[in-house]
Chains A and B, each alone.
Chain A
Amino acid sequence: MKEPVGTTGLIFNEPLLWERGAKGRSGFSLPPRDVASSHVADDLRGDGPDFPDLSELDVVRHFTRLSQWNFGVDSGMYPLGSCTMKYNPKTNERQAGLPGLAVSHPLLPQELSQGALKMMFDLQHYLAEITGLPAVTLQPAAGSQGELTGMMVINAYLQSKGEKRSKVLIPDTAHGTNPASATLCGLKSVAVKSNEQGILSTEKIAELMDEDTAGLMVTNPNTLGLFEEDIQKVTEIVHAKGGLVYGDGANMNAIMGIVDIQKLGVDVLHLNLHKTFSTPHGGGGPGSGPICVTEALEPFLPVPRVIEKDGKYLLSEDFPQSVGKLHAFYGNFGILVRAYSYILTMGADLHKASQYAVLNANYIKESLKDVYHLAYDRPCMHECVFNDKLQAAHKVTTLDIAKRLMEYGFHPPTIYFPLVVQGAIMVEPTETESKETIDAFIDTMRTIAQEARENPEQFHEAPQTTKVKRLDETAAARNPCLTG
């Protein structure tokens, strides 16, 4: 194995903000005061917040040091399954930071915000082309809000047919957001077990689908990284009972330019712009979760909708069957700009992203399957799921493997998800990693497998080279300390 990228370095200590600073210091320059001060009644006046007073350099050093305790895509490979941690192009930041887009007010008169509206209109069109579903809303602020919106649209459609259904089918491989979104929609989740091949069986769906079931929430490719091969038969069964199919598009990075979502029988699909379309995750968000729907569901999309009329772009509220509004304004516009910028950069080559994402995952799967147990040894899509079965004999767990990977300079894969695979290690390399980097990851994983056989004790102390070692999560939850 070559020299690993993970190493020790000079990592600074840095206290909490309020453990430094001195009263009266400031890092902010106020504009010149050009108006007189004005009276405020004593019973209204507060003391103002107890924030520490810091200089500009205090603040700059504080956050620079803190950033050095983090691992990002720009630091190294981040094969976090289900999260599509691809490269976040720098040019996207330039575009989103353009003053006309970054500082424009959302309630400007529409004739004064044509640039933003045109961008949104065109982005809707591109997302429709990419998915095959003709109508799009950009309003949901994240994937889970997209799910909620999608389920509301399904509810509203059924209601327009005079129906109120109470349940929804959700495969056991689904993300937890699916059942949580269903609950917010007043629907009871019914779990569907996947079959021995790790996919949905038509028999199971036929058995559970009835006229009180609003439909099915399905992730395809699913969270095992497998394409739901019987998806068309499954969706036919749901449609035959008057239900609709919600598609979780978290894994769209596997199938862009290849699959036509409408042909799958999916009626609503959400996209995660912060996964498939390269916008940064920012340590937890903001994301953006547009939904794409069939023509029949278009009247129910949230308002306002961006439309074009005589060459002008307008925000229209004139959709009486709409589910309403999910965001105060139009969603996470700044994220939309980044995704738009990405789509224009990739252009008609976008399908190559999916091709290479799938190639990389299969390459890793084939290169590691002799040393890590594969939960389902079948051709995978953009991610593959191993587990710790072969390491269990040496009392080395998935968690240990993850922690050891950090010392070698890699972000660990997603662990212990999906729940249907015990000790899951879910690897999603994405298309932006080069063969050298992927080979280095494979070498490292093989080295770790060997260490697990030969020297399992060292795993329990990993990681050693990070800012902190393993943390006491039990104490944190028993006596929560949430503020300082």
Chain B
Amino acid sequence: MTKEINDLNLPDDVRYTEDHEWAKQEADGIKVGITDYAQDQLGDIVFVELPEAGDTFDKGEQFGTLESVKAVSEMFMPISGEVVSVNEALADTPELVNSEPYGGGWMIVFKPSDAGAIDALMDKAAYMDTLKGLE
């Protein structure tokens, strides 16, 4: 059974996308992961496929996939950019995506082609509205 919206963990210090990803400005670039809502919907993640550092993607382009036992879901770039690093730990411990979606379960860090573009992503309130619209 999935979580109610009010039970979801949605931090204030990250931005959100309609694809249920989060993005956060860090020193070496923008860090991306999936939201608590997304991991809850997907269920137990068993495998994460990530790009390599140095790969570049346009906004909206698929950069990786998440697999649960019986579903596959794609991850899309929130902003165009070049991948700086990927979360190697997920190869052996994909369950981090479920247990710490905003911490150890992060996906990639990338250098955006447009530094200001992150501000155009949704804040927590806007994302909450999106989720309510899905109900």
Contact A477 B1 (CB under 8 A): no
Contact B1 A474 (CB under 8 A): no
Contacts A473-B69, A477-B46 given; does A395 touch B94 at CB 8 Å: no
**Does A478 touch B at the CB level, under 8 Å?**
yes
Of B1, B46, B67, B70, the most chain A CB neighbours within 10 A belong to B46
**Does B95 touch A at the CB level, under 8 Å?**
yes
B44 to chain A, nearest CB (A): 4
A395–B1 CA distance with the chains assembled, in angstroms? 8
Contacts of A395 in B (CB 8 A): 1
Contacts of B70 in A (CB 8 A): 416
Contact A478 B94 (CB under 8 A): yes
Contacts of B1 in A (CB 8 A): 395
A357 to chain B, nearest CB (A): 29
A416–B70 CA distance with the chains assembled, in angstroms? 11
**Does B127 touch A at the CB level, under 8 Å?**
no
* Chain A 462-479 per-residue mask, 1 if CB under 8 angstroms from chain B, else 0: 000000000001100110
Tell me the residues in window 60-103 of chain B with beta carbons closer than 8 Å to chain A beta carbons: 67-70, 94-95
* Chain B 28-69 per-residue mask, 1 if CB under 8 angstroms from chain A, else 0: 000000000000000010110000000000000000000111
> Nearest A residue to B95 by beta-carbon distance?
A478
> Nearest A residue to B46 by beta-carbon distance?
A477
Contacts of A416 in B (CB 8 A): 70
Contacts of B95 in A (CB 8 A): 478
B21 to chain A, nearest CB (A): 22
Contacts of A478 in B (CB 8 A): 44, 46-47, 94-95
Contacts of A474 in B (CB 8 A): 44, 46, 68-69
> Nearest A residue to B1 by beta-carbon distance?
A395
Contacts of B46 in A (CB 8 A): 474, 477-478
B94 to chain A, nearest CB (A): 6
Chain B interface residues (CB < 8 Å from chain A): 1, 44, 46-47, 67-70, 94-95
Chain A interface residues (CB < 8 Å from chain B): 395, 416, 473-474, 477-478
16 A-B pairs with C-beta separation under 8 A: A395-B1, A416-B70, A473-B69, A474-B44, A474-B46, A474-B68, A474-B69, A477-B46, A477-B47, A477-B67, A477-B69, A478-B44, A478-B46, A478-B47, A478-B94, A478-B95
Inter-chain pairs besides A474-B44, A477-B46, A478-B44, 13 sampled, C-beta below 8 Å: A395-B1, A416-B70, A473-B69, A474-B46, A474-B68, A474-B69, A477-B47, A477-B67, A477-B69, A478-B46, A478-B47, A478-B94, A478-B95
